[in-house]
Structure 1
Amino acid sequence: MILPLVVELVALPKAVPEVRRMLSGGDLRLCAAELLTNVIQHVGEGTPVTVRVTAAADGRTRLAVTDPDPRVWPVLREVTDAAESGRGLALVEAVALRWGVEQGPYGKTVWCELAGNHALRRG
């Protein structure tokens, strides 16, 4: 297994598929895409972010996305069938064992934990 993974990047739409290609496991890839997309939509394109994937001793995989804005917190919303957006955190909540937000003095980290150890994609 090739973990931990730490990637520093600029939050742009083209970064989402690039990060997904680095990861294996559908749930991990889904959560990474959703958390990164939240930064793009709610903090802003061009925001510097750090994506971390680590393996916990208990067999879980932890994904964390850190951005520099401690004020813009993700909110789990109830979404209607007609809504065109707003399902990202609901998807994360559905596939993750747990998720949360940690605030620091210069930013925040949105994280989730998934069952199983995930490795990086090869090639």
Structure 2
Amino acid sequence: MKLNKIHHIAVICSNYERSKDFYVRILGLKPISEIYREERDSFKLDLEVNGQYQIELFSFPNPPARPGYPEAAGLRHIAFEVDDMEEAVVYFEGHQINVEAIRIDPVTNKKFTFFKDPDGLPIELYEK
């Protein structure tokens, strides 16, 4: 058995329209399909990340809050590669998103930083 690649990452949001706007308009992910599942009172939005990966954005009525930050058990964060860290930081700050100070990975010497989605899920930017 061999794993080929990550197929998708599922994210549950508390406010579907707010999160949809964030992932589509701010992050620039391309919607692939959107469905409403009446039996679960839930939207599911499939998003393309530069033609390579997929994020599934789910809404559910009254989802529990994230258990803690930053080291709760489970998914820690989503990371996206960028070509120019400073350009990316300026872009997100221009959308009133609080971005942490740029740091340097001590192993790779690459720049990285974090910000949060509308529900507090940490998102990392990592320079190519």
Asked whether the two chains share a fold, i.e. TM above 0.5, the reply is: no
Could you tell me the TM-score, scaled by structure 2's length?
A: 0.29
Q: Greater strand percent: which structure?
A: 2
**TM-score when normalising by structure 1:** 0.30
Q: Which has the higher helix share?
A: 1
- The structure with the larger Rg is 2
Q: Which has the higher contact order (CA 8 A, sep 6+)?
A: 1
